[in-house]
Structure 1
């Protein structure tokens, strides 16, 4: 596995170790340190169970040795496709303790993603919830098995319906003579080094099957420490994981792992629906949670009518796609809490607006990098650095930004420069104070007669319309000019909107006429990717069908 990971240059690796960024320690080794510091404090809760730090450590260690009995060995990997429950956290930490790299799948993934990614990483197990939201994930896992490593196993959280499946609950039960201290010692001895793969993340890019990102114990632990510091997480933090926990944002930025490292409490909720989220905030006195713009817009719509007490919420972190400054400014009045904007990627770089940022910084920018060792470079189409404050593609590298995708030399040649810069594909500008402002995507452009229009720019502007609850801009093929802009919108209840009104609004804002949408499609719901972003491929198909029927 290690030979398939693109290494950092030796001189930089030495510098990162000398600076204390990389400490040569596995993430799993930290579990008992947390448990020793506050054994009786609640670490994880969902609507069925609460676990103290000591209980969490004991269960994770039992499962770690249970994985060994199933045949998983040091350096193996396992596909983890679990919803947001306490079991997710136990499985994650058990994998880290056993030196089995969890591959963070998402509940909506099916045969295409599980099969391709499982084969790519030689997965030795698939860990699934059994039945989840009326879908049989256990059957899915068995359909995928033929594409995985020899003798791969299916581990089910719940009651298996096939004899060939192993039951997670059985591996969590104490065996006769169960001794937590001895098991802890055995697992400590076999702990991996910092340079080994801790977790496999999936890219949020536009390829049909997500690319695989190998995050080492060294780089991911540093990522977590920096994120905790940037977000001021501490023992009083109560973090609500409402986005799919396998995504990098709620997993470790600071997310679940950052909250545990800070001694706080993680609350797992199975859906980002306002009713579920608001109930959890009230019951657990949640202080911080994370959302993508589409989700936070729903929360804002629902907050005015909710009877739940949201007063414990200090701030909400918003990232994943562009957030209009107008919407950003409405979050505090709507939810009664502050806003922390987040810009980042599973490939590494993370930026935050700090909790004490001015309103201007918090609403108009996506913040600054979390590490002094992050390197940012903004370039034009030819790869030439743009003048200070200019807009261009962001390139980045640093101690927690890997130098390549896992086993993907062809993709790496496209996504990384020869001197190690990762091409984010994002159009940004950097303010004089060092804050990143995201302006769109390099490839999310609509080409109208040779004029390149950023879909993100149009989306950001149209979010400001009071009628619009959610919006996505997509290209519509056109024989005359190549592509035209179509705005797909979900409206607030009992509101209406016309294309004429949209174009008039943009004209009043001083937007060039060629950028204004020439089609408008109103939908009840926008389709989303598993991480909550508008699904542009499905939207284009929807628009094509809608306009052809018009």
Structure 2
């Protein structure tokens, strides 16, 4: 078993096996199963590229051999930071097949985040694109290697410069793979044994109050269940055409049901790195897209864009919205503006998923965030003393189940407080659990700002701003926003210096902070308000912002 991984207790694991939630399948093996079932049907589209199920499976098989020859071994961690390009899928499946552990980094992450991940995981390899949306990931790789010299290999999709071209790893058949095919006489030895279904398959990333990366271990068995159950709830089939508008490295677009759920159902994926209405609407019309998933700010933008764009969206049947709460008023407008069914999704990379169902009444869809995916999901809402609240009352959400982690990777100290003694995960979400089983999300109980679905830890941004030579004190608080849910305001004490937002943002960008973590507003104050015990009174700061908004 992987050191640093917290398994499910055997009694519950046995229950999940017996009740069919966990099956003897691996992520890499699933692709072969899907290829056998769907053969020459198109699996994925990106621009003019069309790749069939059979081609995708063969591509992943060859890359598995090439990665092994490069020196990637079972148990190695590999940072995988690719945008929504076709190469993401075969690389992901290839790593899962050889028992390596991909760490799914988001395209927006920069040196601050990737460097910390490289140090935490001891990653031996880093897979990137050459450039995307004007950003050069090869320069990022150079920065990360200076920070983490143990990063032996950088593999690049596209112009590799001094690094390893991904295309050079497209090895001949028989060089490796999930089924244990002999590796051939190239010095790599026999292919590794098939991973166990209950082994860790890959890592997702979690936000948190400190901003330090926490790794979510997802096993083959638990994530395979996550994918097939989500595809069933969302009623995907061979006619499904799924537009991956959000990064596929994010849990929502990866397997809820996302690209993996679409492959499970025999549908077709359409990839894009640009979710703007101009690009996305044209793709919906051209490719006959039936399903997509968005965060609330994008959903709101799309609903506005139908007024000035004339693309035909008639094929769009289902819009999933998650990552943050969609206001009920906006939810009620989806069908009338975009002409499709809305599905609210409330979940987390740590596991638990809640979906409204496709036959739910419109008002239930507009006013709740759905009910649990699995009959085996256990949910509690508790007060500050850990006592369960009455149904319908607000409380912190605790959960456990067949696809919810039992501990973050290599985070024993944090796990001691993030989980109850009986294994419930303390989500940090404030909810109301309704008597009908549906969940109403109310916000966060911790200092995490939810900016349009991106989680920003206040403490992390405060620490970065404190590194500015002019800043003596800082407090970061959320600002309610009708489009993004929350934006970021930084109150700073900077005596004698006319520090402005532009200068602060330039400083943070220079330090390698991801752009979505940058403050939207900066307020210079003479002093920060304090509570009676001497702590910064953030409530007073948020009240000040609220008063200014009213005034």
TM-score tier after normalising by the smaller chain length: 0.7 to 0.9
Give yes or no for contact 1:123–1:149 (8 Å, CA) kept in 2: no
Judging changes above 3 Å, is the alpha-carbon distance between structure 1 residues 438 and 478 closer, same or farther for their aligned structure 2 residues?
same
Judging changes above 3 Å, is the alpha-carbon distance between structure 1 residues 189 and 3 closer, same or farther for their aligned structure 2 residues?
closer
What do residues 153-204 of structure 1 show as CA deviations (whole Å, max 9, x unaligned)?
0000001111xx11011222x64xx469999651897220012111100013
Q: Please show how residues 419-438 of structure 1 align to structure 2 within 5 Å.
A: 419-438=422-441
SS of residue matched to 1:4:
coil
RMSD: 2.9
1:298 is aligned to 2:295: no
For structure 1, list consecutive stretches of 5 or more residues without a partner in the other structure: 447-454, 464-468, 480-526, 528-532
SS of residue matched to 1:316:
strand
Give yes or no for contact 1:124–1:148 (8 Å, CA) kept in 2: no
* Corresponding residue for residue 244 of structure 1: 247
Question: Number of aligned pairs?
Answer: 476
* Corresponding residue for residue 27 of structure 1: 27
* Corresponding residue for residue 203 of structure 2: 200
Alignment counterpart, residue 440 of structure 1, candidates 438, 443, 447:
443
Give yes or no for contact 1:397–1:421 (8 Å, CA) kept in 2: yes
**TM-score, normalised with respect to structure 2:** 0.81
Give yes or no for contact 1:58–1:180 (8 Å, CA) kept in 2: no
SS of residue matched to 1:186:
coil
* Corresponding residue for residue 292 of structure 2: 289
* Corresponding residue for residue 158 of structure 2: 158
Q: Please show how residues 108-507 of structure 1 align to structure 2 within 5 Å.
A: 108-148=108-148, 150=150, 152-162=152-162, 165-172=163-170, 175=172, 178=173, 186=181, 190-444=193-447, 459=480, 463=482, 469-470=483-484, 472=486
Give yes or no for contact 1:61–1:184 (8 Å, CA) kept in 2: no
Higher relative contact order (CA 8 A, sep 6+): 2
Q: Output the CA distance in 2 between the equivalents of 1:263 and 1:382.
A: 47
Q: Output the CA distance in 2 between the equivalents of 1:445 and 1:247.
A: 18
Give yes or no for contact 2:383–2:395 (8 Å, CA) kept in 1: yes
Q: Output the CA distance in 2 between the equivalents of 1:79 and 1:128.
A: 8
Tell me which moved more, 148-157 or 30-39.
148-157
Kindly state the Cα deviation for residue 541 of structure 1 after the two structures are TM-superposed. 3.6
SS of residue matched to 2:332:
helix
Q: Output the CA distance in 2 between the equivalents of 1:182 and 1:170.
A: 17
For structure 2, list consecutive stretches of 5 or more residues without a partner in the other structure: 183-190, 450-476, 494-507, 509-513, 527-543
* Corresponding residue for residue 486 of structure 1: none
Give yes or no for contact 1:297–1:470 (8 Å, CA) kept in 2: no
Q: Output the CA distance in 2 between the equivalents of 1:81 and 1:96.
A: 15
Give yes or no for contact 1:396–1:422 (8 Å, CA) kept in 2: yes
What do residues 19-61 of structure 1 show as CA deviations (whole Å, max 9, x unaligned)?
1111132111111111111111000111141100000001111
**TM-score, normalised with respect to structure 1:** 0.81
Q: Please show how residues 523-538 of structure 1 align to structure 2 within 5 Å.
A: 538=519
Kindly state the Cα deviation for residue 245 of structure 1 after the two structures are TM-superposed. 1.1
Q: Output the CA distance in 2 between the equivalents of 1:266 and 1:24.
A: 26
Q: Output the CA distance in 2 between the equivalents of 1:241 and 1:97.
A: 23
Q: Output the CA distance in 2 between the equivalents of 1:4 and 1:145.
A: 24
Q: Output the CA distance in 1 between the equivalents of 2:245 and 2:373.
A: 23
Kindly state the Cα deviation for residue 477 of structure 1 after the two structures are TM-superposed. 6.3
Tell me which moved more, 147-156 or 318-327.
147-156
Q: Output the CA distance in 1 between the equivalents of 2:247 and 2:109.
A: 12
